[in-house]
Amino acid sequence: MNWRKIKRVAGVISLGLILVGFIGFVEKKSLEKTFQGLDIQIKAVSGLYFVEDKEINSIISSGFPELKAGLPLKEIPLAEVEERLEGHPFVKHVDASLGQKGILRVTLEQHEPIARIARPLAADGYVTTEGLIIPTSNSYTSRVLILEGEYIEKLMDQGNLDQMPELMPLIEFIVKDEFWSAQVTELEIRKRDDIHLHQQVGKQVIEFGDALDFESKFKRIDVLYKEILPRKGWNAYDRISVKFKNQIVCE
C-alpha cells in the first residue's frame, strides 16, 4: 500500500472518529437538557376521539408529579409513561419520545369500536376490531352494529370474544359490506347457536342460528330479498329462518 492510500484510509478513519465523537457529544448534551413541556398527539378513529387531551394530561400529571419544568430529561420514565397510558381502555398503543427542546411527545393510537353491546340493566360496552370488549366513552358515541342478548352479556364479563371466536368474522362481514351494514341493525345473541338478525327494512326477525357458515346464510337471505319478498310482500311472513343448511324457512 502506497503512502497516498495510507493517508486516504487514515483520513476516513479520522473523519469517522470525529463523527462518532460529535454524535456522542450531541447525545450527552441532549441528556443534560431539562423537561420543558408536554405534547399530546391522538390519532383519530373515523374522525372521532374517544379520549381527549385533557384526560391524558390528567393521567400523566397525577401519575408522574415529578414531570415539571427543570427535570433532567434522563430522569423522565418513558416506558412507565407508555405503560400507564396503555392501561386506559380506549388506548391501543402509546409512543413516548423526547424532543431536542425538552418536549415530551406522547402519541396515542385508539382502539376502534366495531360493534356496541347494549344491556338494559347494566352499562353498555364496545367490541373493538381486535375482539376486545371495552367500556363506552363519555366523550363520543360511535354508531356501529348493535349486539344484545343473554349470551353476549356473558361475554361482556369476560372482556373479550375468546369464548365465541366465530362471532368476530360474522361481525366483520356485516360491517364491511355496504348493503348488509345498512340493512342489519342488530344481532340478538340468545345462545351461542341461536342468533337473530334484526333488519332495517322488514318487520321479521331472521333466525340465523350459529355464526358459522354465515356467507351461505347471507346468500340465502339475498335470494329472499330479491326473489321471494318482492312477490309476497316484505311483511308477508311472521317467521324467517336460514339456520338450517341450504334452506330458507318462511312461515
Q: What is the pLDDT of residues 227-250, one digit of tens each?
A: 988 888 877 888 899 999 888 998
pLDDT band (50, 70, 90) for residue 139: confident
Buried (b) or exposed (e) across 153-190, using 16+ Cβ within 10 A?
A: bebbeeebbeebeebbebbebbeeeeebeebbebbbbe
> How many other CB atoms are there within 10 angstroms of residue 135's CB atom?
11
What is the reported pLDDT for 15?
60
Counting residues of the chain whose pLDDT is more than 70, the rounded percentage is 87
Overall average pLDDT of the 12-36 stretch: 60
Q: Could you give the residue range(s) of every CATH 3.10.20.310 domain in the chain?
A: 37-110
Per-residue pLDDT for 161 more than 80?
yes
Per-residue pLDDT for 121 more than 90?
no
Per-residue pLDDT for 59 more than 90?
yes
The CATH code for residues 113-250 is 3.40.50
Overall average pLDDT of the 44-72 stretch: 90
What is the reported pLDDT for 155?
87
Q: Which of 1-5, 122-126, 176-180, 227-231 has the lowest mean pLDDT?
A: 1-5
What is the reported pLDDT for 41?
95
What is the reported pLDDT for 198?
94
Q: Could you give the residue range(s) of every CATH 3.40.50 domain in the chain?
A: 113-250
Give the span between the Cα atoms of 164 and 117, in whole angstroms.
14
Angle formed at CA 145 by CA 141 and CA 151, multiple of 5 degrees: 110
The CATH code for residues 37-110 is 3.10.20.310
